[in-house]
Amino acid sequence: MSKATVYFGIILLLAVVIYFSLGSNFHNSTTSDLNFGTFSMKIPRYWKKIEFDGIDSYIGGITNETDSLTFDYGWYSYNLSYENREKQLFATDTINGKIALITKPKEVGNGTLGIYIEEAYKKNRFNFLGKNILDEQIVFEIFKSIRFKDSDTTLNSKSFGFTDKITPYSGRSLFYTHCASCHHRNKNLFGPAFASINELDFKKWIIDTTNLGLTGMAKFGIRYHQKAFKKLLMDNDIEKLIEYSKVST
Ligand code: HEC
């Protein structure tokens, strides 16, 4: 092998290494943060923001020239209830601490791809929808990046669990939003496993404020639970959480 061949080989190798290391940097910079005031999201660089004038809500969207998604942020945003149940699938999951109803068509590219967040920020609701979109994965990544001013980025469902029923505020989503930082369904974490807690204890710990006695003095004991959750959870939310605690996996 001549010296020239060896040098050439080394240069080629360096070129390949540099190409790939730059390539991965490019990859990291392919999304940008879009700020809409009280909320923000991350979008791929080839998507852009669009804005319209809304009367009593904030309307806008994003587009990549082929596909577009529009949002409506305000008191009366559409909650997906008119979506065709025959043709759509639904999931209720947690995105950055907010319970989100997500829909996708049963057949890719033939229907609505959308998200609805009822308790978005203050009294505002949020929806964000597109039609007949082929690249669902990119849109789901955008959905997962949606954050409001008070969002908790540590609380997220692992994946969207689609079914053919609309189940807003399901036990699973309530659990992920409010309890999963300390409890697991089947394992003891910081708090005891949900599966091991009996029904009456759920009610007693969250909604019944009588008979507190001395049992409530522990740091994350009964008083903590009542203070943290009594106003957040309705009675039937407790029922849903109890139901969720009993479903076996
Ligand atoms: C900040 C952490 C934390 C969060 C969040 C939390 N818990 Fe707990 N929970 C605990 C701890 C710790 C215990 C055990 C406390 C003790 O025994 O004094 C506990 C105990 C309980 C118990 C009593 C169990 C028993 O068998 O006596 C119930 C019921 C309960 N949690 C329900 C919930 C529900 C429902 C949520 C969500 C709405 C929730 N917890 C959120 C930490 C937490």
CATH class of 31-168: alpha beta
- Is 167 a pocket residue for ligand 1 (Cβ < 6 Å)? no
- Give the mean model confidence (pLDDT) for residues 79-102: 91
Whether the model clears a pTM of 0.85, i.e. scores above it, the answer is no
Task: Check whether 27 has a pLDDT greater than 60.
Answer: no
Return the pLDDT at 178: 87
| Closest residue to atom 17 of ligand 1, CA basis | 221
Of ligand 1's listed atoms, the one at least distance from the Cα of 233 is 38
Q: Identify the residue with better confidence: 201 or 1.
A: 201
Per-state percent for the chain, helix, strand, coil, to nearest 5? 30, 25, 40
Question: Strands 57-63, 68-74: parallel, antiparallel or unpaired by DSSP?
Answer: antiparallel
- Could you give the angle at which helices 199-206 and 235-246 cross, rounded to 10 degrees? 150
Domain ranges of the chain: 31-168, 178-246
Find the helix or strand (DSSP H, E) in which 95 lies: strand 88-95
Ligand 1 centroid, distance to 6 Cα (angstroms): 67
Return the pLDDT at 19: 64
Question: Strands 31-35, 48-51: parallel, antiparallel or unpaired by DSSP?
Answer: unpaired
What tens digit of pLDDT does each residue of 122-155 get?
Answer: 989 999 999 999 999 999 999 999 999 999 998 8
- Average model confidence (pLDDT) across the chain: 86
- Is 244 a pocket residue for ligand 1 (Cβ < 6 Å)? no
